[in-house]
Amino acid sequence: MAVTKTRESAPSYSSSFLLGMYQRMVLIRRFEEQAAESFTKGMLAGNIHLCIGQEASCVGACTALESRDFMTSTHRGHGHCLARGARPDRTMAELFGKATGYCGGKGGSMHIVDVSLGILGANGIVGAGIPIATGSGLVSSIQGTDEVTLCFFGDAASNQGTFHESINMAAAWNLPVIYFCENNQYGVSVPIRSVMNTDTVAERAKAYNIPGITIDGNDPIAVYETVRQAVDRARKGEGPTLIEALTYRHMGHYMGDNAWYRPESYMEEATERDCLANFRARLLGEGISEADITAAEQAAKKEIEEAYVFADESPYPDISAVTEDMYSQMNDRCVAR
C-alpha cells in the first residue's frame, strides 16, 4: 500500500491561497533565522531545534486542517505551531523564557503550545506525541464528532514503540488521525537507513492495513493535497493514514551542532530542493507578480522583527510563578512539601 505519490494533475489554486502559504513558509524561516541569531548572541539558551528546510511540510500539512481540528507537535515544533497560526511574538517570547511566552516561559522551545488553536502539545520525548494524538482521535471517534487530528513526528520517532502501539489502536478502531512523518533522513546524527530495514517509513503502514504514502515533503502543494485527502478519509470515518514527507533538515540537530556527520551531498540536495526557493519560482510561474511575492516576504519579515522586539522587551516571569501551575487545585503541601 506504500506508494510514492506524485501529483497527476495540478488543480488550480487562487493566488491568495498560494501567496498565503508562501508567506507562512517565509514567516517560519525568518522566525528560525531570528531564533538562531538570538541563540548565537546568547540571548536564549537550551536545546533549540530549527526546522529550516521543512517549512513546506509544516505549512502544507497544517493548511489542510480546519480550525476545529487538532494537532500534536515535536521537539522541532516552532514551524508546526506557526503553520497552525500561532503568534510569532508569543512563540518567540517563549523561546526567550519570557512571561509573555505561550507557556509563560515555563515550556521553552520544545514545548510551544497554543491550546486554543487545537495544538495538544509539542513534546521533548521522541514519540510521545503519537499516543496523545491518538487519544484526541479517540475522543472524536467516541463522541461522533468530525474533527481530525494531525500528528507530526520524525523519521527516527517511527522506531519508538509508541508508533507501533498507537497506530495499531488507531487502525483497529478506525480513528481519525493523520500520522505525518517528516522524514529528514536523520535522527540527530543517525541516518534512518542504518536503523530501519525498509526503504520508506510509509511501508510500515502495511503492518496495520492502512494507507501508507510517501511524498515530496518539499512541495507544499503535494503535502497539502495528500494531507487533505487523508483528512477527508478520516473525517468520513475511514480511519487513519500514514504519510511520510521526504524533506531536509538544513541545520544541525540543534543549535550548536554543525552536522559534520552528514555527507556533503545532503546539503547539496537540500539546497537544490529547498522548498522556499522552489515554491517562490513556482509562484512566479503561476503568474504571481514579483511585487506581490516581495510584499509577502516583507510582511513576514516585519512580523518576525516585531516578534523579536516583543520577546526581547518582555519581562521574565516573576519568580513567584515558579510553583504555580503544578496542580490545578493549589494545595500548598503538594508543592511546598
Partner 1 sequence: MSKMSVSAAIREGMREEMQRDERVIQVGEDLGVMGSPFAITKGFLEEFGPNRVIETPISEGSFTGMAVGAAMRGIRPVVELMYNDFISVALDPVMNQAAKLRYMTGGQVTIPMVIRAPMGAGRRNAGQHSACLEALFTHIPGLKVVCPSSAADAKALIKASIRDNDPVIFLEHKLLYAKKEEVPDEEIVLPLGQANVLREGTDITILTWSRQVYFVQEAAEKLAAEGISCEVIDLRTLVPLDWDTIKASVEKTHNLLVVEEGVKRGGIGAELTAQVIEELYDELDSPVGRVAGLNICSPFSPPLEDVNFPQVADSIAAVKRQLNR
Q: Is 184 in the site for a second copy (CB under 8 A)?
A: no
CA 58/CA 332 separation, integer angstroms? 41
* Residue 169 identity: M
Q: Residue 170: which of 202, 191, 148, 203 has the closest Cα?
A: 148
- Check if the beta carbon of residue 110 is closer than 8 Å to that of residue 50: no
Number of alpha helices (DSSP H) and beta strands (DSSP E) in the chain: 11, 8
CA 53/CA 220 separation, integer angstroms? 12
Among 33, 174, 206, 261, binds partner 1 (CB under 8 A): 261
CA count, 13 A, side-chain hemisphere, 27: 30
Among 123, 149, 159, 184, binds Mg ion (CB under 5 A): 184
Q: Residue 176: which of 223, 216, 136 has the closest Cα?
A: 136
Q: Residue 180: which of 283, 328, 253, 77 has the closest Cα?
A: 77
Which of ligand TPP, a second copy, Mg ion, none does residue 278 bind to, with CB < 5 to 8 Å depending on kind? none
Nearest distance from C-beta of residue 138 to a second copy, angstroms: 13
- Polymer length in residues for the chain: 337
Q: Is 3 in the site for a second copy (CB under 8 A)?
A: no
Sign of CA dihedral 177, 13, 217, 73: negative
Q: Is 88 in the site for partner 1 (CB under 8 A)?
A: no
Nearest distance from C-beta of residue 83 to partner 1, angstroms: 19
Q: Is 331 in the site for a second copy (CB under 8 A)?
A: no
CA 107/CA 105 separation, integer angstroms? 6
Among 60, 127, 154, 239, binds Mg ion (CB under 5 A): 154
Q: Is 198 in the site for a second copy (CB under 8 A)?
A: yes
Between residues 188 and 259, which has the closer beta carbon with respect to ligand TPP? Answer: 188
Nearest-10 Cα torsion for 178, 184, 187, 191:
130
Q: Residue 215: which of 205, 206, 253, 225 has the closest Cα?
A: 225
3-state class of 86 per DSSP? coil
Read off the DSSP letter of residue 125. Answer: S
The grid cell for 162 is 509508541
Between residues 237 and 256, which has the closer beta carbon with respect to ligand TPP? Answer: 256
Between residues 38 and 158, which has the closer beta carbon with respect to ligand TPP? Answer: 158
Nearest distance from C-beta of residue 133 to a second copy, angstroms: 16
Nearest distance from C-beta of residue 197 to a second copy, angstroms: 4
Q: Is 217 in the site for Mg ion (CB under 5 A)?
A: no
Which among 77-85, 152-160, 231-239, 290-298 is the span making contact with Mg ion, rule CB under 5 A? Answer: 152-160
Nearest distance from C-beta of residue 300 to partner 1, angstroms: 26
Which among 48-56, 194-202, 266-274, 309-317 is the span making contact with a second copy, rule CB under 8 A? Answer: 194-202
Q: Which residues bind ligand TPP (CB under 6 A)?
A: 75-76, 124-126, 154-157, 184, 186-188, 249, 253
Q: Is 103 in the site for partner 1 (CB under 8 A)?
A: yes
Nearest distance from C-beta of residue 240 to a second copy, angstroms: 9
Nearest distance from C-beta of residue 174 to ligand TPP, angstroms: 23
Interacting residues with a second copy (CB under 8 A): 159-165, 168-169, 171-172, 194-198, 203-204, 206-210
